[in-house]
């Protein structure tokens, strides 16, 4: 199947998302064109990616210096690692006309994107995602950032990439657990915007990297996200807008922070958060108990958890949720399901209702 393009429409800052087997070669060509024009470029990847895809990393290395992060996983999204990236860019002479290429999953994309956004007040940035989660979600939309001990992504910047090259061939190297984690974001896209996509995921579980439907599923998720980002790039809408993409994330980010980064993959925490959000939505009459069960069933069918593996304290989870970036005027802002295929934001949810959703997902008092 030939590669396809979805355009993120942002006026003069619009950019293509190329989707298909082999498009990493296009990324290499784009990087080479910049280097040939005399622009200093650098790439950032991770130990896991460098080990799984050494040939492509070596090709990048022949074009530009490559920084491998000190570790894999969410702990790499730290102030210390960001400073290491800045020093690397400066030490290799990357100037304002330079570019940073991110080759990796969501962690690498967020970290490299933040480094690009902040180094010399912003240099160009190219995304080459290597995980399903990054392809369908984090590589598109320009959110970059690092974590603090207090919470996830509390430091960051909006910095749109110049292009995204989502090479579905790269998914063959992805461990099964990582692939399943990406499916959480795919399921989320169906829940907030496309009931037909959600139904397809119900009928074809579990998907795998070489499933015939996967390229179309990736494209549909990118289309959904591109449309949302074009309408509310910086998440400033009073209702709905880009915040809808956070379905399950208020709960999920709290789970990651309290359990300790790395205990759950991001997609696993989001899956638990989706189940909690569905439970909350059902209690508030936004969706039916049967629809909540459909959410749980599709999560487990794709190899994802629908509740905590072990109890976490409710009070600590609530504390983490109160520090979430989506808090407005001191009130937590939740994304709620309106059935399947639609969602809305609500900052009037009581803490008592949130606690009941946490308890339903396996938290403990």
Q: Which residues are catalytic?
A: 121, 143, 185, 225, 235, 242, 246, 249, 253, 266
Per the CB < 8 A criterion, the answer to whether 163 and 102 are in contact is no
**What residues form DSSP beta bridges with 148?**
151
Print burial letters for 53-87: b (CB count within 10 Å at least 16), e (below 16). beebbeebeebbbbbbbeebbbbbbbeebbebbbe
Can you tell me the distance from the alpha carbon of 220 to that of 200, in angstroms, rounded to the nearest whole number?
12
CB-facing half-sphere around the CA of 335: CA atoms within 13 A: 27
Q: Is the dihedral of CA 162, 157, 182, 99 positive or negative?
A: positive
**What residues form DSSP beta bridges with 66?**
43
Q: What is the DSSP letter of 130?
A: -
How much of the chain is helix, strand and coil, in % rounded to 5?
Answer: 50, 15, 30
**Residue with the two structure tokens 């990582």:** 178
User: What radius of gyration, in Å, describes the C-alpha atoms of the chain?
Assistant: 20
Cα→Cα distances 14→5, 51, 206, 226, 233, Å: 12, 33, 34, 10, 12
Residue 17 CB coordination number (10 Å): 26
Can you tell me the distance from the alpha carbon of 173 to that of 56, in angstroms, rounded to the nearest whole number?
13
**Residue with the two structure tokens 């979600």:** 137
Can you tell me the distance from the alpha carbon of 288 to that of 294, in angstroms, rounded to the nearest whole number?
10
């Amino acid at each position: 199947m030939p590669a396809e393009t979805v355009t993120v429409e942002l006026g003069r800052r619009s950019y293509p998302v190329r989707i298909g087997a082999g498009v990493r070669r296009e990324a290499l060509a784009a990087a080479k064109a910049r280097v040939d024009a005399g622009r200093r470029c650098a790439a950032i990847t991770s130990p896991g990616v460098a080990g799984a895809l050494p040939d492509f990393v070596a090709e990048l290395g022949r074009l530009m210096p490559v920084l491998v992060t000190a570790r894999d996983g969410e702990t790499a999204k730290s102030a210390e690692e960001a400073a290491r990236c800045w020093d690397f860019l400066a030490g290799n002479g990357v100037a304002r006309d330079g570019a940073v290429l991110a080759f990796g999953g969501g962690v690498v994309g967020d970290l490299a994107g933040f480094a690009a956004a902040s180094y010399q007040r912003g240099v160009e940035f190219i995304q080459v995602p290597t995980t399903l989660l990054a392809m369908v979600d984090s590589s598109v939309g320009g959110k970059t950032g690092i974590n603090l001990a207090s919470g996830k992504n509390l430091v960051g910047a909006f910095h749109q990439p110049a292009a995204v090259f989502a090479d579905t061939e790269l998914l063959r190297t992805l461990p099964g657990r990582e692939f399943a984690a990406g499916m959480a974001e795919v399921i989320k896209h169906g829940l907030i915007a496309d009931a037909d996509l959600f139904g397809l995921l119900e009928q074809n579980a579990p998907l795998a990297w070489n499933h015939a439907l996967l390229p179309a599923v990736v494209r549909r998720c990118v289309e959904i996200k591109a449309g949302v980002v074009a309408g509310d790039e910086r998440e400033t809408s009073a209702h709905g807008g880009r915040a809808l993409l956070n379905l399950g994330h208020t709960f999920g980010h709290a789970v990651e922070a309290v359990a300790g980064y790395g205990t759950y993959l991001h997609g696993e925490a989001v899956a638990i958060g989706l189940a909690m959000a569905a439970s909350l939505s059902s209690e508030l009459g936004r969706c039916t108990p049967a629809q909540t069960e459909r959410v749980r069933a599709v999560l487990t069918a794709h190899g994802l958890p629908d509740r905590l593996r072990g109890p976490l304290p409710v009070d600590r989870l609530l504390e983490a949720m109160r520090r979430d970036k989506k808090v407005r005027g001191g009130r937590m802002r939740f994304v709620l399901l309106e059935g399947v295929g639609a969602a809305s934001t609500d900052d009037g949810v009581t803490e008592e209702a949130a606690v009941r959703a946490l308890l339903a997902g396996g938290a403990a008092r």
